[in-house]
Each structure stands twice: as C-alpha cells, then as structure tokens.
Chain A
Amino acid sequence: MKPAPGSVFRLAICLSILGFLGRAEAQVYQGKELVKAELLADTNAIVPGKNFTVGLLLRMAPGWHTYWKAPGDAGLPTELKWNLPPGLRTIGGLQWPIPLKTNDPGDIQTYGYEDEVFLTQEIRPGAKIDDSRLTLSAEANWLVCEKICIPGSANLQMELPVSTTSASANAELFARYRQLLAQNWPDSKTATANWSRANSELRLKVTSATLSKYPAVDFYPIPPENAIIGHPQIGARAPGEVSFRIPVESPKTLSAIPGLLVFAERPNGTDRAAWELELPTVAPPRVLGHARRVISFLFFGFIGGFILNLMPCVLPVISLKIFGFIQQAGQSRQKILRSGVAFAAGIFAWFTALALVLIGLKIAGRDVTWGGFQFTNPYFVLLLSVIVLVFALNLFGVFEIALPQRLSRGLLASSERKDDLGSFFQGMFATVLATPCTAPFLGTALGFAFTQSPAVILSMFLVIAAGMSAPYLLLCAQPAWLRFLPQPGRWMLRLKEVMGFLLLATLLFLLYVLGAQRGVAGLIWASCFLLIVSVVCWMKGAFLTPGAPAKTRLIAAITMSILLVLSGVYFIDKQFRATRYAAKEVRLQGDWQAFTPERLQAELNQHHPVFVDFTAAWCLTCKFNEQSVLENPVVRAAFQRHGVTKMKADWTNGDPQITKLLQQFRRPGVPLYVLYSGRSDKPIVFPELLTKGIVLEKLETLSASVVAK
C-alpha cells in the first residue's frame, strides 16, 4: 500500500528529529553490517555546571571484535575525537572497560571487545549556557576484526536540551559498563605492587589477600610509547601473592610498566574487575611508615615556607612589610596584630587557591607541576611585571594609592579596613613572587605531595603558608620586640624609594624571563606596554588626585582607560601574541645539546653516558647551579674526560615532553639533574643544589663501574 503524501512528510520529520537525538551509524562490509556506532548520554538534558557522561556504543556483528587502548600484538585502539560546542569540555580521558584477552595461534595476544563495547567520557558544562540546545559531535575511528580486519569510522552527533533540571537516561547501560571500569590501586593495606628487574625482564610482585579469592588473575600491560615488551607470564602464585614476569626488549631503562591487574572467577569472566597500576614511585625505599613520612615531609614544607622569606624574589616585598611594622611600632597592639594576621591571611589565601587549582588539574588528569606551571606562561609573567612596575612607581611616589593624611591619622574604621586589605594583598603578592624560588626543601616536599591524595596536597600547601607567615605572626604575637626597631622619620621615605629600586631589579628578572620565552621582539612589545602603564600611573598621580576638579578627574580617567585598552590591544593582543617562542638552540652554549627524548634514546642505544640538565630561564636555582658548578672549568673537564654527552632540557615554556619526564622522576619542576650511565642500571638523580664535589664524585663512580665491567 502506498502511504499518503502527508504521512511520508510526517515520517520524514520524525526521522530528522530522531536523527538529532543521537543517530546510529553502521559500518557495512560486503552487504553485512559489522559495527553500529552511536553516542548516548546518561542524562536527558544538560544542566549548566553539572557534569554528565557521554559514551560511544559500538555494537559488533557476532565474531567480530574491536580493540582496547593497548591492543597487544595486533590491531588498533578505537579513537574518539570530540568536537564540543563552546560551554562544554571534556574532563579526563576516555574510560575503557576492562578488555577481553584473546590468544590466537602463533602466540598472538590481543586485548579487545566482542559483541559490544561502551567507551565513556565525562563532560563538564560551563556555569552559564545561553543556547537552549547543544550539539555534541565526535569522530570515531576503529578497526574491527574477525579473520580479517576492516577499518571503520563514523561522524556522530547528539543533541541535548539545556535545562535547569535533568533526569537520568540509559541508566542500565551506564551502570553495566561502570562495573567494568578498572578501579584505582587500593591502599597499601589491601594490596602492594613491587617491581624489580632481572636481566632482560621485569618482575611484578603483587601482595594482596583479596586476590586469593579469585582463581583467574592476570596483568594487562599498557606499555609506554616506543616500549617493546613480551607477554606477561604468571610466575609463582602463593596465597595472597602473585608474580608476573614480563620480557623487555627495549628500552633497557624501563623500570616499570603501567597496566591493569585483572581478577575474576575465570579468564575473561563477566565478573572481571581490575585495579589500575600506575607508574610506581621511584621514591626512596619505605623506611618510614606512611604517616610518619607525611609528617616529616610536612615539616620540610614548613621549613621551606620559612626559607621562602629569604629568597631574592620575595625579599623586596618582605622588606615592604617589615617597613610597615616599623611604621606601626608606635601604634596600638591590636592594630599591629590585625595587620599581621591580614598579611598571613593573604599568604594562606594564595597557597590555598593554588592547592585547589592543582588538585582540580590533577583530578582532571592534566599535567601538573609546581614552580613552572605559572612561570611557563608568558602572560602570567607579563601580569607580574605590570604589578611589580606599578608597585615600584608607587614607592617612588609617582602616585599614591591611599590618601596620606587619612593614613597618618589612621582613625576612621573604614580606612583601617582598607589598610588590612592592603596587608592582605601584600601577603598574596609576596607569595606569587616566591613561586620561582622553589627552595630545595620545598621541592622535595612538594614532589612528595604530588604523589599523594588531595588532602595531603592541601595540607602541604597550608604548611608552607604557615612557614612563610610564621615570622610575621611571631612579631605580632610579641609586638614588644618591635621596640628594638628604630623610630619613624625621614629615613623611612628614603628606604621606601630604595625598595622601589629593588622592585625594578625584580622587574629586570621578569623581563629576562619574557625575553627567554618570546625573544627580543616579545620583550620590546611587552616593554612598550609597560611604558604606557607607567604613563597611566603618572597621570593618576598628577591629575586623578582627590583635590583636583571633577572635570579634570573625569577627563584623566577616560584618557587613562583609553590608553590602557588601546595599548593592551595593540602591544599585547596583536604584537606580543604574534611573537614566536624563542628558539631553544640560541641559548645553548659550548658543548651542550638540546634535549629531545629521541636524542637521549639514540645516545643510550649506543651506550653513551648522558647528563641531562632540566632548567628554565626563570629558575634562579638552576642559573646558580649552572654558573657556579656545571660551567666550572674543573667540572667541564671532568664531563669531557668521562665522555658524557650533556643535554639541556629547557622548560622555560613548559614543553609537555619535558613535563612528562619530570613527572616520571616525580619532580614538580626544575631544577632536576639526571645522569644516565648508558647501561641498564637506574639513572642517578642529583640533589637540587649542586656542588662541585657531588658532581665530580658521581662522575667518578660512573667510570669506576665501567672499568669494573
């Protein structure tokens, strides 16, 4: 029967609407449907600010399979490339269910999925979304194999309404696949994993009473890129213990392999569960108990925070604060206390904010590192330069932020509060400046914290803040000690101006960093902007004074705004942004080579010893080590004598490859010095503060063991 034209039309409308709701696409091969691909969400609407999950459902024809992210001896992982509308972003990576392990004739092992697989992705909507509907698109690529393999792909779309409420959708499917996700490695009471190396194989020993209940235990490796490994073989299985042997072809330096420890009633059972084993800590052997280790590192954090006060980059601001104390010496005890507490609060606020941001990034799976993650960003450095310049001009008396007469009276409650706010921001500012001076203590403590839970990270930052603010709080608690400070007078004005020059010196350092990041052109455009900022400051001091007529003030305010916006748009947004990252090679001197992972591997393949200097232009400790130790003639000669290839890994711009390596060494930032012997033993990691003695001694051990061999 022929349908009426009207019903065809209605059908077409229905189909087109259904299509937007998430259309399934089919991969057809020789008339047979091999894979059906579809996007599905766990919600019927997007609620701004509320995370939801979207998944790629692949349904395979019977007998056909697709692959896991580490496919094994053959095959190709399924790939999902998102194209999300503004307002949506992905959180973390694609989540893969625990795969099935297949053994094919010829000792071919692969990891994949049969019949069906659901790969999920968490999505975070922004807090405010203007559209009433959003379309999520993704390109999926996969390889589906039975006896032969056929690549397939689909461009998938899904539309969801934006609403203030939502109900869950596809709950059964999401729940079923959530069951199949690997869990984080449990705490050390439940299970421990130990890696060791024997000749050309790695041994993994897992101790856990839980595993005794499961007859089938296996390890699914996720080998790092370029690593060539054999199949894990189950060695001894004792009650509460299982060990695996994994042959390693290359690289010889591999000391552990991430992967899943899978356990079930039977191999490939539907009840299968897994713990995800990440790269283990290269940390020192467990001499102390975990809690004691945390406490001792928190102690180092406190000491490190205290030492931050003496760092050259913070000193100017700290001097400001001490100057403030002198000024307050004659004032009421209560007022001094309040100002001190406000300053400490500023320090705490910044460190807390930093801790929360880092925890957030860590949870979201981004590369997280300390010192650098701010200073690798040129805009952050630029912002800091502006702040430092404005402070310096303020100290020189080019303009005043508060009214001098009111300040000196210090009577009004409101201006007192303003004063406290000033102390608060001074505290924050001091801390921001402290960032590049990751003191040796602090580096160790933070490096440890990053391997820990969010609670430990937060307490670590708080302890550092406590260490840094300790001297001020002490002075506040014992204001009697302030008596020993001299009386206020004309000398204070001079001191203020001298502090201004110290800030200008800090500005020089920041500009040096900018130059290292963006070359001379970037440096000049940034300086042009800074010039306009000074003009604006001068205008503020000259025309925008409280005593000036209202008309003058209005004109001044408008002119200042226009100047700032225009110069910001032209110098920064147009010119500065267009400058290129300075070529790394330019800064390399003498016998140093630029570090690349490939170059390192090539040298190690030829069994050459290699020394890698992880450095950055903004890292003062690095510069100090380089000038005083690494470039010392005796040390240079020693490197040459031992035939060590020297490489510089320049992290000024936050190179992600270098970030990855820093993380492998469990370091949050630079400096880091590593000596590879060129043989299969572990690389030697140097302390953060180098001395000639240490470097020469380690180089000697290198050649001693070569001779012994």
Chain B
Amino acid sequence: MKTKSILTLIASLAVATLWAIDVPPVGSNAPDFSLTDAVGKTHSLSQYKGKYVVLEWFNPECPFVKKHYGSGNMQKLQEEYTGKGVVWLTIDSNAPDTEGNITPEQAQKIMSGWKTHQTALLLDPESKVARSYGAKNTPNMVIISPEGKIVYEGAIDSKPTPNPNDIPNSTNYVKAALDESLAGRPISNAQTKPYGCSVKYKSS
C-alpha cells in the first residue's frame, strides 16, 4: 500500500514536470485535439488543415475576458476573421466545480446572449487541450497556420488590464498577426506575454 502511494507520488511528480516543459514553442507543430462544442458536435484541429485557426481560451466569469466581450471587441474580431475564412475556436478549459466551467446549455446561452461569432465554443473540462498548449490564462490566444504550425501565441493585446477603456489605446496583437499572415508577410510579433485570469485546472 505504502509502495503504491510512493509510486503515485513519483508518477504525479513526473507528470508535473512534463506539464512544466510541455509548452510548444512558436514554430512547432500544433498539438492535435478533438473536442465537442455547445451542441455536441465534434471538432478536431486536423479537420481544419489548410486554414488559419485561432484558439481563444475562455472563462465567462473572468474580468479580463469580460473586458473583451463586454466591449464587443472579441465579437468584432471573430466576425471579421471568420468572414475571411479563418477558423475561430473558443475553448473553455476550466475544470468542473471551478468558476468558469460551463455546461453545453450554458455555452449556448452565452453564445446567443453575448452575440458571439466564433466558429465553435469547445468544452474541455478535463483541461487536456489547455495542458497540451501550456495555456495558463484567459484570454490566451494561439494562431495556427494552414500547415499546422503555431505562428503566434500570447496576449490578445498590449494592455494587461481588465479595463475596457484601455482597448482603443492598445495594439491588438492577434489582429496584427492575422493581417500579416493573410497578406503573406512574416508576423513581426510572434510571441507576447499573455495576461488575464488563470485557467482553472482540476486540482490533483
């Protein structure tokens, strides 16, 4: 019995170490995943190969997320770039019984209530996808190229505050990176420091 608990300890330490180093850097292959959305439909990253994909980590309770939805900033970005053929996947990776975890019904309500325009709002209650991307914040933004490489990761913009009044005076890194990518130019700011609430992983 004792041996078993020691083994468990060692195993969990090993897993913790793996998490610590398993942040895929910009330029590496984007880890594939498969998640269900608010209406139960399955989306996998591989099915969108050939298109630019935006991943947006989400928590409806987080003031930093509310900053961008309350002001309509996020919806506008989603509408603009899905209109240009970009796939926009919003992911809620908060574990059950934590703030920000949502059921499919709640997800549908948020999408219609907040008038969002993403391709799909995906549910990741086991935080598997967050873990494989090393996502620590909401919002945390990742852009994946048509070849399946990570080309941008980091913050949505340059002002790390929960105050919506800061949006007009900030540089939107995601918009800049998408505009540059779609124009076939290299991304000048490919990695920035993400800001916001923490992703609520399941406590182990």
* Partner pick for B63 among A105, A108, A150, A227, CB 8 A cutoff: A150
* Partner pick for B204 among A105, A230, A605, CB 8 A cutoff: A105
- In the complex, the answer to whether B198 meets A104 with C-beta atoms within 8 Å is yes
CA distance A586 to B65 in the complex (A): 43
- In the complex, the answer to whether B100 meets A148 with C-beta atoms within 8 Å is yes
- In the complex, the answer to whether B20 meets A147 with C-beta atoms within 8 Å is no
Contact with B along A129-171 (1 / 0, CB 8 A): 0000000000000010101111100000000000000000000
Minimum Cβ distance to chain A for residue B57 (Å) = 11
CA distance A250 to B98 in the complex (A): 32
CA distance A76 to B23 in the complex (A): 23
8 A Cβ contacts from A85-143 to B: 104-108, 110, 143
- In the complex, the answer to whether A105 meets B62 with C-beta atoms within 8 Å is no
- In the complex, the answer to whether B190 meets A107 with C-beta atoms within 8 Å is no
- In the complex, the answer to whether B197 meets A231 with C-beta atoms within 8 Å is no
- In the complex, the answer to whether B191 meets A250 with C-beta atoms within 8 Å is yes
Decide if B32 is an interface residue (CB 8 Å cutoff).
no
CA distance A104 to B19 in the complex (A): 13
- In the complex, the answer to whether A105 meets B197 with C-beta atoms within 8 Å is no
Contact A605/B188 with A143-B162, A148-B100, A151-B63 known, Cβ cut-off 8 Å:
yes
- In the complex, the answer to whether B193 meets A226 with C-beta atoms within 8 Å is yes
On chain B, which size bracket covers the interface? 35 or more
CA distance A227 to B193 in the complex (A): 7
- In the complex, the answer to whether B197 meets A74 with C-beta atoms within 8 Å is yes
Q: Which of B61, B163, B190, B193 is packed against the most chain A CB atoms within 10 Å?
A: B193
Contact with B along A562-593 (1 / 0, CB 8 A): 00000000000000000000000000000000
- In the complex, the answer to whether B62 meets A148 with C-beta atoms within 8 Å is yes
Decide if A265 is an interface residue (CB 8 Å cutoff).
no
- In the complex, the answer to whether A74 meets B161 with C-beta atoms within 8 Å is no
Contact A106/B19 with A73-B136, A149-B197 known, Cβ cut-off 8 Å:
yes
Contact with A along B41-83 (1 / 0, CB 8 A): 0000000000000000000011110000000000000000000
8 A Cβ contacts from B101-136 to A: 127, 130-131, 136
CA distance A233 to B188 in the complex (A): 30
CA distance A104 to B199 in the complex (A): 9
B residues near A249, Cβ cutoff 8 Å:
25, 191
Contact A107/B20 with A143-B162, A151-B163 known, Cβ cut-off 8 Å:
yes
Residue total for A at the interface (Cβ-Cβ under 8 A):
28
8 A Cβ contacts from A214-256 to B: 226-228, 230-231, 233, 249-250
* Partner pick for A145 among B98, B154, B197, CB 8 A cutoff: B197
- Considering the complex, give the chain B residue whose CB is closest to the CB of A247: B21
CA distance A249 to B21 in the complex (A): 12
Decide if A602 is an interface residue (CB 8 Å cutoff).
yes
Decide if B137 is an interface residue (CB 8 Å cutoff).
yes
- In the complex, the answer to whether B98 meets A147 with C-beta atoms within 8 Å is yes
Decide if A627 is an interface residue (CB 8 Å cutoff).
no
8 A Cβ contacts from A585-641 to B: 602, 605-606
- In the complex, the answer to whether B137 meets A106 with C-beta atoms within 8 Å is no
CA distance A106 to B98 in the complex (A): 13
Minimum Cβ distance to chain B for residue A326 (Å) = 65
8 A Cβ contacts from B162-201 to A: 162-163, 186, 188, 190-193, 195-201
Contact A143/B63 with A73-B137, A104-B198, A105-B203 known, Cβ cut-off 8 Å:
yes
CA distance A149 to B62 in the complex (A): 6
CA distance A104 to B131 in the complex (A): 13
CA distance A249 to B64 in the complex (A): 24
- In the complex, the answer to whether B199 meets A108 with C-beta atoms within 8 Å is yes
A residues near B163, Cβ cutoff 8 Å:
151
CA distance A606 to B64 in the complex (A): 31
A residues near B191, Cβ cutoff 8 Å:
228, 249-250
CA distance A108 to B136 in the complex (A): 7
Minimum Cβ distance to chain B for residue A152 (Å) = 10
Decide if B96 is an interface residue (CB 8 Å cutoff).
no
8 A Cβ contacts from A68-88 to B: 73-76
Contact with B along A528-549 (1 / 0, CB 8 A): 0000000000000000000000
A residues near B200, Cβ cutoff 8 Å:
105, 147
- Considering the complex, give the chain A residue whose CB is closest to the CB of B130: A106
8 A Cβ contacts from B133-158 to A: 136-137, 154
* Partner pick for A74 among B19, B130, B196, CB 8 A cutoff: B196
B residues near A605, Cβ cutoff 8 Å:
188, 190
Q: Which of A105, A108, A605 is packed against the most chain B CB atoms within 10 Å?
A: A105
- In the complex, the answer to whether B198 meets A73 with C-beta atoms within 8 Å is yes
CA distance A143 to B161 in the complex (A): 9
Minimum Cβ distance to chain B for residue A77 (Å) = 9
Contact A106/B99 with A150-B63, A151-B63 known, Cβ cut-off 8 Å:
no
CA distance A147 to B96 in the complex (A): 12
Minimum Cβ distance to chain A for residue B69 (Å) = 15
8 A Cβ contacts from A477-518 to B: none
Contact with B along A37-76 (1 / 0, CB 8 A): 0000000000000000000000000000000000001111
CA distance A149 to B161 in the complex (A): 12
A residues near B197, Cβ cutoff 8 Å:
74-75, 145, 148-149
Minimum Cβ distance to chain B for residue A247 (Å) = 8
- In the complex, the answer to whether B201 meets A105 with C-beta atoms within 8 Å is yes
- Considering the complex, give the chain A residue whose CB is closest to the CB of B198: A74
CA distance A602 to B176 in the complex (A): 14
- In the complex, the answer to whether B198 meets A110 with C-beta atoms within 8 Å is yes
- In the complex, the answer to whether B136 meets A76 with C-beta atoms within 8 Å is no
CA distance A104 to B95 in the complex (A): 13
CA distance A493 to B204 in the complex (A): 93
Complex A-B, nearest 4 residue pairs according to Cβ-Cβ distance, in ascending order:
A106-B201, A105-B201, A74-B198, A148-B99
Show 11 A/B contacts (Cβ-Cβ < 8 Å), sorted by A.
A73-B136, A74-B198, A75-B197, A106-B19, A107-B16, A147-B98, A151-B63, A151-B162, A226-B193, A228-B193, A605-B190
Q: Spell out A's residues near B (CB within 8 Å).
A: 73-76, 104-108, 110, 143, 145, 147-151, 226-228, 230-231, 233, 249-250, 602, 605-606
